[in-house]
Amino acid sequence: MAVPPEELQEEQSTSKSSIPNNGFEDRPEVEEEERDEEDDDGDEEEDEPQTLESELSSDREKMAKLANRLRSEPVTLRVHDVIIKGNAKTKDSVIEAEIIDDLKRASTLQEIFQAAGIGTVRLRQLDIFDSVSFMVDAGPKELPGTANVVVEIVETKSPLTGEIGMYTKPGARSWSLEGALKLKNLFGYADIWEGSVSYGWDQTTEVSAGVSL
């Protein structure tokens, strides 16, 4: 029996509409969502350098404000304690004698810095330390407005030094052989022991020794 063309077209359209949708038609929307997520990730990666830069800028501003405050107005602060580190041989009393009075008299942070600078020079002049450094630390919580000063020193690695040489006088036709030794901080009191010997062309010998505190 012949089927009319109109009914044949209706059956074909019905069969097309009954084909199950497996999600392929929605694929463009999924791809768009993935692209949006990638764009968001890219934006986050771009924001990270800006965040680090803003933090550095904030730190610089804080340091600048602190420096301006130190220059413009005194910061009231008292020394609660002086802590000495690094002195394996040198007595604490030797170091304190050079720094403690000035630090205890200081009443502001600026004066503490000034006293620390003077103390550094005095300790280096003892000629028994390779390095001297001061650090201001917070004092006890129960004592606001106080600070602890930490003095860290490095004792000389070569306490014994010496030199030797020969000296001639062509006009007088004489020569001498001289040597000297220096021993630093033998007993921990910044004591320096020195000795020298000289032997001349006329077979005379001179010996000298001394100690300084």
pLDDT (tens digit per residue) in 55-104: 777 777 877 776 676 677 788 999 999 999 999 999 999 999 999 999 99
Cβ-contact 154, 145 below 8 angstroms: no
pLDDT surpasses 50 at 154: yes
Question: Which segments of the chain does DSSP mark as H helices, in order?
Answer: 5-17, 27-72, 92-105, 109-125
- In CATH terms, the superfamily for domain 78-155 is membrane protein fhac (3.10.20.310)
How many Å from the N-terminal Cα to the C-terminal Cα in the chain? 134
**165 versus 35: which is more confidently predicted?**
165
Domain residue extents for the chain: 78-155, 160-212
Alpha carbon dihedral 121, 125, 127, 129, in 10-degree steps, equals -20
The gap from C-alpha 48 to its chain's centroid, in whole angstroms, comes to 27
Name every residue whose Cβ is closer than 8 Å to that of residue 46 and which is 6 or more positions away in sequence: none
Answer with the residue of higher pLDDT: 108 or 56: 108
Question: Model confidence over 183-204: pLDDT tens digits?
Answer: 999 999 999 999 888 887 776 7
CB 79 within 8 A of CB 138: no
Q: Pick the residue with more confidence: 134 or 46?
A: 134
Across the chain, mean pLDDT equals: 78
Note the pLDDT of residue 155.
Answer: 95
Q: State the helix-helix crossing angle for 92-105 and 109-125, rounded to 10 degrees.
A: 150
Q: Give per-residue pLDDT as tens, 118-146.
A: 999 999 999 999 999 999 999 999 999 99
